[in-house]
Amino acid sequence: MALFRSISIFLVLPLLFQFYTGKSELQLNYYSQSCPRAEEIIKEQVTKLYHKHGNTAVSWIRNLFHDCVVKSCDASLLLETAYGVESEKATSRSFGMRNFKYINTIKGAVESECPLTVSCADIVALSARDGSILLGGPNMEMKTGRKDSKESYSSQVEKSIPNHNDSMSIVLSTFQSIGIDTEGVVALFGAHSVGRVHCTNIVHRLYPTVDPTMDPGYAEYLKGRCPTPYPDPTAVAYSRNDRVTTMVLDNVYYKNILSHKGLLIVDQQLVSDPSTYPFVEKMANDNGYFHDQFARALLILSENNPLVGNEGEIRKDCRFVNK
Rounded to whole angstroms, the Cα distance separating 280 from 8 reads 50
Grouping H, G, I as helix, E, B as strand and the rest as coil, residue 32 is coil
CA distances from 52 to 45, 46, 102, 123, 151 (A): 11, 10, 11, 19, 32
**Is the alpha carbon torsion for 291, 159, 56, 118 positive or negative?**
positive
CB 113 within 8 A of CB 39: no
66 part of the active site: yes
Distance between CA 49 and CA 104 in Å, rounded? 12
First-last CA distance in the chain? 53
Exactly one of 51, 53, 66, 291 is catalytic; name it: 66
Give the active site residues. Answer: 66
